[in-house]
Structures are given as structure tokens and as C-alpha cells.
Amino acid sequence: MKLAILGAGAWGTALAISFSPRHQVTLWGRNPQHLDALRREHANARYLPGITIPTALAIEPDLEAALRNTELVLIATSTNGFAPTLEAVVKHRTAPPLLWVCKGFETSTERLPHEIATAYLGAKARIGALSGPSFALEVAQGKPAALTLASRDAKFGSQTAASLNGPALRIYSSQDLVGVELGGALKNVMAIAAGVSDGLGLGNNARAALVTRGLAEMVRLGVAMGGQPETFMGLTGLGDLVLTATGDLSRNRSVGKRLGEGTKLDTILAELGHVAEGVFSARAALNLARKYSVDMPITEAVCAVLFEGATPVETVRRLLSRDPKAE
């Protein structure tokens, strides 16, 4: 399959490396100097240090050339970069089959990625989300991982999942696009909470409680918005939550951990060097919780720390002082 991957950060590069042995892959990015370095050094030193880019992987600075005759386009930008990239794509291609791997809400509109894609490509476009528990570095290293490809077009979803499926990167299909996208967005918020707990030194028991109750919040909002409860028990819900809330490679857990240790958010984000989608998703998640009348106390607590000047210690104290309820 001829595949164009748009976005030469950690995730886009990792997927390009993973798919290149079985597909004709072209990697495109917005920064020509960055692409020149990738081509010259056969490495993405900024995002994937120590990983070699195979010579079979084409690196193309011209978007029109990257899209020419492609059978599938995969966008690997941040959620806030998704709409501008789509806008550029439709200038060269009319509604190409398209996947995305961003997890979150668009900050200015609070739209999920499928809503953005539909606005640009139309309701009948063959589109889908590729999501699941996966750190880019481990995928680039060829270590085993499993993802879910969610599309409301069952034929497109199952056929594309089968085409992309490989010995190390296993791809499953789903029709629950809303549930899969919400799982990917909300787990980042819960990972920040788990990181705060770790930064405060509250222990493994506290982290397990946060992950479990965080999952309950994800399910409540997901079902209210039309997702299927079983989706949140799978790869893109529980699986991604466990990875992101416990893994040392998790950006969102790292943000929470440093907040718990007393570092200011502005300093953390300036030094991170990568996008932590949970910071952008937290406010949107809370607004949606209020819109759908869903109780999400952990999300409220994360927003209080991120945006309202609440200290992690007092926020945890408020969470622990809530009246007990049936699970």
C-alpha cells in the first residue's frame, strides 16, 4: 500500500518506521530543515534518539508530492495541528482515505478529531482513528504493541486494519469511533492525576485508586456521549490508561509528577519539548462533563491544579474528603 504519513514528530516517525517494511511509506512534515536532518542523518534525534530511519522510507518536504497517488493518508500531528493539516491536504486531494493518531480535543472548539475530519472531508469520507496503548519509542524499536482502528465505515475499518496489521504492531478494528476517541483523550487527564499522586509520594495504592476511579469517569462521560461501555474496557480505554498513568515514557504522567513535586506548569511545558495533550484536554473534558451532567471529580481536581492555582496537596485533600458512595 502507498501510504503518506503527515507529521514528522515522534509518533509519525515511529509509525513510518514500523510500516515501511511492508508498505511504500512517505513521511512529510512542516519543517523543511527538520526533514533535511532526518534524510541526512537517517535519524530523528530530537524525538526518537538512537533510532535509525530505514533508507526505504521516503522523506518528502513537498506536501503535494507526498500525497500523489497515495492509497491512505495518516495524520500524526497534535490535535490542535489536525485541522490546519487537513486544510492543506484538501487543497491537493479530494477526500482521501484518512486516519489520524492524535488524542484529544481541539482547544478552540473542543471538537473531537472525527468532527474536524467530517467538517473538511464530508460525512461519507472513509476516515478513522488509530489509537491504543503505545509509546512511540517502543514502536520505533519494533517492540510489540496493539492498537485499535475505529471507523464508522465497517468495511473500510476492517480492511485497513488488516492491511496495516503486522507481526509487532497488531491492529484491531472497531466501529465505536466516539468511544475510542474519548478513551484516548480522557486517559491523558487521568494520567496527569496519577502523576500528581506519584509526585506527592502517595504510593502505589493511591495510584491504583486514581486509575480505577478515573476509568469510571471515562466510562460515564463516554456512554453519555454515545460511546460503548465495552470500548473503555479495551485497548483504547483501560489499556491506554494503564500505560499512560504508569509508564515512565508518558508525557502526561511526567507533567503531573512534576506538578506534584512543586514545579510550575509553565516551566514544565517549556522544558518538556513535546505536546502533553492532557493539559489541553482537561478543560474540554470538564466542560463536556457539565454539559452532559456527568460527575467527574478527578477531572475537576486536575483542572483546579492546572488552571485555578490550587495546590496538589489541598486538591488531594478535597478529593479524599468527598462523601463515600457505592462503587
Query: What angle do the packed helices 113-121 and 177-199 form, to 10 degrees?
Result: 140
Residue tagged active-site, from 143, 187, 291, 325: 187
Residue 325 falls in the annotated catalytic set: no
Contacts 24+ apart (CB under 8 A), 168-171: 168/18, 168/142, 168/143, 168/144, 169/18, 169/19, 169/139, 169/144, 169/145, 170/144, 170/145, 170/146, 171/130, 171/146, 171/147
Is residue 98 within 8 Å of 75, Cβ to Cβ? yes
- Chain mean position to CA 134: 9
The label of the residue with cell 490546519 reads: 84
Cβ-in-10-Å burial (0-12, 13-18, 19+) of 299 comes to: buried
Is the Cα dihedral 121, 60, 79, 131 positive or negative? Answer: positive
- 3-class SS of residue 325: coil
Concatenated DSSP letters for 191-207? HHHHHHHHHTT--HHHH
Q: Which residues are the active-site residues?
A: 187
